[in-house]
C-alpha cells in the first residue's frame, strides 16, 4: 500500500449500467475470507481455503438453490426484509448519506443502490413482474458475479443505519446487510475478521481467544497500574458468585489501547463508590461479532451473558462502552435469550435510582449509571486534570441510532472536562458519521476502504480542530477506539481518541488516593495556567 492510498476523494457522475455485476476486487478495499478452522469451530457450512481474489470461490454445487431458499425463508421470517424489498421508490434521499459512498464515490455504495443489488434478484425470482419482464423490471439473474458483488458491497456497509434516518419509509440498510451476509454465510462466504473473533468468543470467551489465566493476568496488570497511579489497591473480582452486579465489557478494554485506559477508569469508579460487582472469565466479551454474520450466531454468542448472570447469582448487569455490543443488548438480547426473570430490576446501590428503562433486560449502560451518579453528586470530579484536552464527542452509530443514548455520555464528559466542543449538528447525534470500520471491517487488508469510509467523520473532526483546537475525540465504542486513531493520524493528525470513562477516571477524585501527577496514560498533567 502506498503512503497515501487515498487522496482522490471526489464524487463523479457514475458510468455504465448498474446491472453489470462484475466487480474489481482491488487490494485494500475488501476483507480476507474466513479460515476453515473457524467455520468448523462454529459448525458453519462449506469450510475451505479460499480468497476473494480466487477465480473459483468453491461454492457448494447447489449454491444458487441454497441462496434462493434462504431468501424465501427470510422473506417469511422478517417483515423488514419483505417490506424493504418492495417499498423503495429510489428517491435518492439516502444517496449521499453513506460514508462509504462519500469516501469512495462508488455509486453502488449509495444505500438505495446497495439494496438494489439484492432487490433485483428478489424481483427476478419472487415477483411476477420481474419474472415476466426481466430487464424492463430491472430484475437480474442470480449469478456467481452477483454473489461476488454482494460480498464486496455488503462488506462495504458498516450497518451504521445513517441512511435509515433519512429514508421516508424507514428502510434500514443494516437490516438488508445483515440478511445478505446471513445468506452468503449459507454458502460459506464470510470474512476472517468476523468469523475468527466469533469462533474465539464462542469457545474461549472473547474475540482474541484470551484464555482465562491470561484474562486474569491482564486484570492483575491493571491492578498494578492502578496502584501506581492512585496508590490504592483496586481489586477486580473475577467470576465471584453472589456479587450484586455482573460487569460486561468489550474484551478490547483489557487487551487494546486506548481502550485499556477506559478499563482503568471504570475500575477507579467502581472502587471509589464501593460497587459490589464481578467480571466474568466465561462471559469475558460484551462485543458480538455474530451481529456481523447472522442472527443465529449473534444469539449463540450472546447467550453467555444471561447464563453467566444466572450462574453467578447477580441481581443485574452493567455494560461497558461498546457500540455494537449495545445494539445487541438493547434491541436483541432479551428477545433472543430472555426472559431474564432470575434477575432484578436494576437499582443503583448509590443513588437508589431504579432503571425502569431496563426493567425487562436488566442491563444498564455504564454512561446511564455514571450520569446518575454525577447527577446525585455521589462522586467528585476535578475536570482540570483533563485541561490538556480540548474534547469533542463522536456518537457511535449503534448507541445513537439503535438506542438513543445521546445525552448521558455528554453529561459525563461536560463534567469531566473543561473544554468541550460539538462537531457540526448534521454530523453528530442521530446524524453521526460512522468510523468506517464497524461491522467487522476494521482489518488491515481493508485499510483503503476504511480510510475512505472514515473520511466524513474525520472531516467533521477537522472542522472542530481548526475552529477550537480540538485534540481529543471521545467515544463509547470499542471499534471506534480501535480504528479512529488510525483514521485521525491519516486525516487529522494530532487528535487522540479516548473513552468517556478514561476522561472520567482522569478527573475522578478518590478517597485516600495519592495526588495525581499523570493522567491514566502516564502523561504528566498539564500545568495550571493563568487562564485555565
Partner 1 sequence: MKALIAAAAVLFLAFAGASAGVVPGGTAAITVVLPYAAFLTLIAGIAWRVWWWAASPVPYRIPTTCGQQRSLPWIRTAPIDNPDTGVMAAIRVAIEALMFRSLLRNSRTHIAAGRLELSEARLLWLASLALHWSLLVILLRHLRFALQPTPFFVPPLDALDGFLRIGAPSLLITDVLVVAALIYLLGRRLVNPLLRYMSFFTDYFALLLLLGIALSGIAMRYVAPVNLVAVKEFALALTAFHPVVPAAPSALLLVHLLLVSTLAIYLPFSKLMHFGGVFLSPTRNLANNSRRVRHINPWNRPVPTHSYGEWEAANAEKLKLAGLPLDEADRGG
Enumerate residues 73-102 that contact partner 1 by CB under 8 A: 75-80, 82-84, 86-93, 95-97, 102
Question: Which range touches partner 1 (CB under 8 A), out of 59-67, 256-264, 371-379, 474-482?
Answer: 371-379
Sheet containing 472-475, strands listed edge to edge, beginning at the edge strand earlier in sequence:
391-393, 472-475, 496-499
Using CB under 8 A, pick the residue from 39, 113, 417, 510 that binds partner 1.
113
Within positions 141 to 160, which residues make up the interface with partner 1, using CB under 8 A?
Answer: none
Number of residues that bind partner 1 (CB under 8 A): 118
Nearest distance from residue 175's CB to partner 1, in Å? 7
Q: What is the DSSP letter of 420?
A: B
Q: Which residues pair with 316 in a beta bridge?
A: 245
Question: Which range touches partner 1 (CB under 8 A), out of 165-173, 257-265, 266-274, 413-421?
Answer: 165-173
Q: How far apart are the C-alpha atoms of 334 and 356, rounded to whole Å?
A: 15
Q: How far apart are the C-alpha atoms of 241 and 278, rounded to whole Å?
A: 8
Q: How far apart are the C-alpha atoms of 105 and 95, rounded to whole Å?
A: 11
Cβ proximity to partner 1: between 336 and 350 the closer is 336
Cβ proximity to partner 1: between 48 and 82 the closer is 82
Using CB under 8 A, pick the residue from 53, 58, 357, 518 that binds partner 1.
357
3-state secondary structure of 393: strand
Cβ proximity to partner 1: between 199 and 520 the closer is 199
Cβ proximity to partner 1: between 373 and 520 the closer is 373
Within positions 419 to 448, which residues make up the interface with partner 1, using CB under 8 A?
Answer: 424, 426-427, 429-431
Using CB under 8 A, pick the residue from 5, 28, 60, 137 that binds partner 1.
137
464 is an interface residue for partner 1 by CB under 8 A = no
443 φ, ψ (degrees, to nearest 5):
-100, 165
Q: Cell 466479551 identifies what position?
A: 285
Are 499 and 476 in contact by the 8 Å Cβ rule? The answer is yes
Q: How far apart are the C-alpha atoms of 138 and 119, rounded to whole Å?
A: 9
Within positions 471 to 510, which residues make up the interface with partner 1, using CB under 8 A?
Answer: none
Using CB under 8 A, pick the residue from 24, 43, 55, 512 that binds partner 1.
43
Cβ proximity to partner 1: between 92 and 522 the closer is 92
232 is an interface residue for partner 1 by CB under 8 A = no
**Cis status, amide bond into 339, omega within 30 of 0:** yes
Q: How far apart are the C-alpha atoms of 359 and 349, rounded to whole Å?
A: 16
Nearest distance from residue 515's CB to partner 1, in Å? 33
138: left (phi over 0), alpha (psi -120 to 50) or beta: left
11 is an interface residue for partner 1 by CB under 8 A = yes
213 φ, ψ (degrees, to nearest 5):
-70, -35
Half-sphere exposure of 324 (CA within 13 A, CB side): 28
Using CB under 8 A, pick the residue from 175, 321, 387, 480 that binds partner 1.
175
- Binding mask of the shown chain, residues 301 to 340, with x at each position contacting partner 1 by CB under 8 A: --xx--xx--x-----------------xxxx-xxx-xx-
347 φ, ψ (degrees, to nearest 5):
-130, 130
15 φ, ψ (degrees, to nearest 5):
-120, 160
Nearest distance from residue 199's CB to partner 1, in Å? 10
- Binding mask of the shown chain, residues 383 to 422, with x at each position contacting partner 1 by CB under 8 A: -----------------xxxxxxxxx--x-----------
Q: How far apart are the C-alpha atoms of 251 and 284, rounded to whole Å?
A: 6
Amino acid at each position: 500500500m502506498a503512503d497515501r492510498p487515498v487522496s482522490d476523494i471526489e464524487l463523479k457522475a457514475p458510468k455504465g449500467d448498474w446491472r453489470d455485476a462484475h466487480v474489481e476486487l482491488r487490494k485494500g478495499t475488501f476483507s480476507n475470507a474466513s479460515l476453515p478452522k473457524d467455520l468448523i469451530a462454529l459448525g458453519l457450512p462449506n469450510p475451505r481455503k479460499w480468497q476473494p481474489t480466487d477465480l473459483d470461490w468453491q461454492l457448494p454445487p447447489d449454491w444458487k438453490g441454497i441462496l434462493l431458499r434462504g431468501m424465501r425463508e427470510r422473506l417469511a421470517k422478517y417483515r423488514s426484509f419483505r417490506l424493504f424489498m418492495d417499498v423503495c421508490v429510489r428517491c435518492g434521499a439516502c444517496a449521499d448519506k453513506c460514508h462509504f459512498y462519500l469516501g469512495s464515490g462508488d455509486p453502488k455504495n449509495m444505500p438505495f443502490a446497495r439494496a438494489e443489488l439484492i432487490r433485483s434478484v428478489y424481483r427476478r425470482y419472487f415477483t411476477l413482474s420481474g419474472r415476466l419482464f426481466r430487464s424492463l423490471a430491472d430484475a437480474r439473474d442470480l449469478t456467481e458475479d452477483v454473489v461476488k458483488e454482494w460480498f464486496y458491497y455488503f462488506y462495504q456497509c458498516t450497518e451504521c443505519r445513517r441512511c435509515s434516518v433519512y429514508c421516508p419509509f424507514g428502510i434500514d440498510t443494516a437490516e438488508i446487510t445483515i440478511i445478505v451476509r446471513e445468506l452468503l454465510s449459507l454458502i460459506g462466504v464470510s470474512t476472517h475478521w468476523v468469523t475468527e473473533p466469533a469462533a474465539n468468543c464462542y469457545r474461549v470467551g472473547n474475540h482474541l481467544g484470551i484464555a482465562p489465566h491470561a484474562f486474569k493476568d491482564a486484570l492483575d496488570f491493571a491492578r498494578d497500574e492502578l496502584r501506581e497511579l492512585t496508590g490504592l489497591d483496586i481489586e477486580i473480582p473475577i467470576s465471584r458468585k453472589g456479587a450484586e452486579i455482573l460487569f460486561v465489557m468489550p474484551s478490547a478494554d483489557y487487551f487494546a489501547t486506548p481502550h485499556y485506559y477506559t478499563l482503568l477508569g471504570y475500575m477507579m469508579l467502581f472502587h471509589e463508590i464501593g460497587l459490589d460487582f464481578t467480571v466474568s472469565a466465561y462471559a469475558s466479551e460484551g462485543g458480538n461479532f455474530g451481529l456481523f454474520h447472522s442472527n443465529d450466531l449473534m444469539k449463540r454468542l450472546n447467550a453467555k451473558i444471561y447464563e453467566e448472570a444466572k450462574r453467578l447469582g447477580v441481581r443485574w448487569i452493567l455494560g461497558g462502552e461498546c457500540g455494537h455490543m449495545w445494539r445487541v443488548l438493547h434491541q436483541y438480547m432479551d428477545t433472543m435469550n430472555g426472559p431474564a426473570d432470575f434477575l432484578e430490576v436494576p437499582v443503583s446501590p448509590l443513588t437508589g435510582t431504579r432503571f425502569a428503562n431496563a426493567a425487562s433486560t436488566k442491563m444498564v449502560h455504564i454512561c446511564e449509571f455514571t450520569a446518575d451518579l454525577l447527577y446525585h453528586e455521589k462522586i467528585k470530579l476535578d475536570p482540570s486534570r483533563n485541561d490538556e484536552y480540548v474534547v469533542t464527542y463522536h456518537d457511535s452509530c449503534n448507541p445513537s441510532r439503535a438506542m438513543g443514548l445521546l445525552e448521558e455520555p455528554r453529561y459525563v464528559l461536560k463534567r469531566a472536562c473543561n473544554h468541550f466542543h460539538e462537531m457540526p449538528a448534521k454530523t453528530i447525534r442521530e446524524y453521526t458519521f460512522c468510523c468506517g470500520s464497524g461491522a467487522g471491517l476494521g482489518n488491515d487488508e481493508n485499510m483503503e476502504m476504511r480510510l475512505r469510509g472514515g473520511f466524513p467523520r474525520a472531516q467533521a473532526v477537522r472542522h472542530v480542530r481548526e475552529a477550537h483546537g480540538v485534540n481529543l475525540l471521545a467515544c463509547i465504542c470499542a471499534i471506534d477506539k480501535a480504528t479512529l486513531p488510525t483514521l485521525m493520524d491519516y486525516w487529522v493528525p494530532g487528535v487522540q481518541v479516548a473513552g468517556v470513562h478514561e476522561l472520567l477516571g482522569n478527573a475522578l477524585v478518590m478517597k485516600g488516593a495519592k495526588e495525581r501527577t499523570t493522567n491514566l496514560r502516564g502523561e504528566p498533567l498539564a500545568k495550571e495556567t493563568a487562564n485555565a
